[in-house]
Every structure is written in structure tokens, then in C-alpha cells.
Amino acid sequence: MKRVALITGGTRGIGFGIATQLAKEGFDLAVNGTRPEEAVQSTIDELKALGAAVLYCRGSIAAATDRKNMIERVRKHYGALHVLVNNAGIAPRERRDILEATEESYDEVMSTNLKGCYFLTQQAANWMIAQKQSDAGFTGCIINVSSISATVASVNRGEYCLSKAGLSMATQLFAVRLGEFNIPVYEVRPGIIRTDMTAGVTEKYDKLIADGLCIQQRWGEPADVGKVVASLANGQFMYSTGQVIMVDGGLTVPRL
């Protein structure tokens, strides 16, 4: 039987880059998203064409019942889950200075980017522990897609930075808790990646990249993140639990 990966927000952008790479590398997929199935059918077909079985699990990771249903659907359909990729995330609807930003935006961003990932991880982790206990040969892992915003302060999206800093600690917490079961937990930290999320700020980042913001003078692509996640999922980093893997073209390397 193929190994099964659940990718939240896996129908576009970085999540789709991850799903594509995992499909290419022989995983069966459960892909979560908020859009109706008809709206993502062509995306699902693209993944199937790569040889993967694909289950679409519609639902919001911010909602407890949706998280529960998502895991139940995977359980019913595949009977196993080896890899959880917490990729779904949102930017604030409106970038606002932290002296003016609203509690509504804070709650929305935190409940998706942090609370949703944290409690989905809790559910998946319990299931992975049960799988490990019934089959010593089970190999699972959890991969959180955070952001350079976990450490780089942007005062016009403070809630996003806080959510990613929190996700970074969640990675360490679950790495510690799941250590005894040999289920590694990793954080993948992208820099500036070309997706719908960054489409509205293309010109700004084009200029910053041309001016040397990153050591590698180009945008990151979803495939750059997908290849890193696939290496982790494939067990190439089994003795590196709790670690952060940067995918930022060197943006965060301090320079003088």
C-alpha cells in the first residue's frame, strides 16, 4: 500500500506544489481546501494524472467540526495517515499597521494559521501514535509550513507574524511529545514564493529581489517548497526532528 499524505490548502499555490511533488514521489493524497469539489476538479485530475489516488476533503481548518470530519474521511477512505502537511494559511485581509489593526483580523488569522494547525496536528498525532502502536513498522511525520515571518517582523501584518512564530513553537512542542514514538515533526519556512497570496504585492517584491533582498535573486516557486517537503516526507531527515528548514533563497542570512 502507498503511503498517505494529507495536505491542507493543497489545491493551489504552495500546497499544490507540495501535493504535486508528493504525487510524483509515490504518495496517495488527501487534499483539503475550502472550495466546492467542482471548483477544484481539474486540479484533482492533474494530481491523479501523476499516478496518485486523490481524496478531496472540503472544510476549513479553522472549524473544529471540519477538522474532525477531514480526519474521519481520510480514515474511512484510506484507513491510514502517514504524513500531515499543515500548509493552509491566510494573510490578513488588509495589511494594517499594528497601531491600528483589528481584533477581528487577529482572530481570523490566528484561528486559521495557528489554532487550526495546532488542533489538526493533535488529532493526526493521536492517530499516528495508534498506528505506530499497532504496527511497529509505521513511519509517520508532520510538516508545518510556517514563514520567514516567524522571525522577520513586519509591522503591517503583526497577526500573521505572531501566528507563524506560534506555529514554530507548535512544531517544537509536538516534536518533543512525539519523540518517543519516533514520529518527527518539522517546520518548513518559506521566504517569498510566487502564489496568489503574494500576487497583490508582486511589484514591491520584484523590486526588493532586484535590489538584493535574497541571496538567490529570484522569486521562490511552489515547487521549491514541494521538493523540500517531499524529502522530509520520504524519510530523508529522520534524525532532525524539531528543525526548521529554510526555503528563502538566503533572505534571512544576516549580511553586512
Q: How far apart are CA 73 and CA 93, in angstroms?
A: 30
Residue 46 C-beta: closest distance to ligand NAD, Å: 14
Instruction: Indicate the residue among 13 and 140 with the shorter CB distance to ligand NAD.
Output: 13
At 217, is the secondary structure helix, strand, or coil?
Answer: coil
Q: Would you call 205 a catalytic residue per the annotation?
A: no
**Distance separating alpha carbons of residues 60 and 214, to the nearest angstrom:** 33
Binding site for ligand NAD (CB under 6 A): 8-9, 11-15, 32-34, 60-62, 87-90, 112, 116, 145, 147, 190, 192-193, 195-198
Kindly tell me which of 100 and 196 has the beta carbon lying closer to ligand NAD: 196
Calculate helix-pair angle for 117-134, 64-78, nearest 10 degrees: 30
Nearer to ligand NAD, 33 or 166 (CB): 33
CA dist., res. 117 & res. 95, Å (int): 22
What's the closest the beta carbon of residue 45 comes to ligand NAD, in angstroms? 17
Return the SS3 of 54: strand
Nearer to ligand NAD, 112 or 131 (CB): 112
Q: Lay out the sheet containing 28-33: strands in order across.
A: 54-58, 28-33, 4-7, 83-86, 141-145, 185-190, 244-247
Min CB(47)–ligand NAD separation in Å: 14
Closer of 113 and 139 to ligand NAD (Cβ): 113
What CA–CA distance (Å, rounded) separates 180 from 38?
A: 42
Q: How many CB atoms lie within 10 A of CB 35?
A: 12
192-202 as b/e: b if 16+ CB within 10 A:
bbbbeebeeee
Q: Report the alpha-carbon distance of residue 126 to residue 135 in Å, rounded.
A: 14
Least distance to ligand NAD from the beta carbon of 23, Å? 16
- Least gap, CB of 234 to ligand NAD (angstroms): 20
Catalytic option among 160, 186, 205, 239? 160
Q: Which residues are catalytic?
A: 160
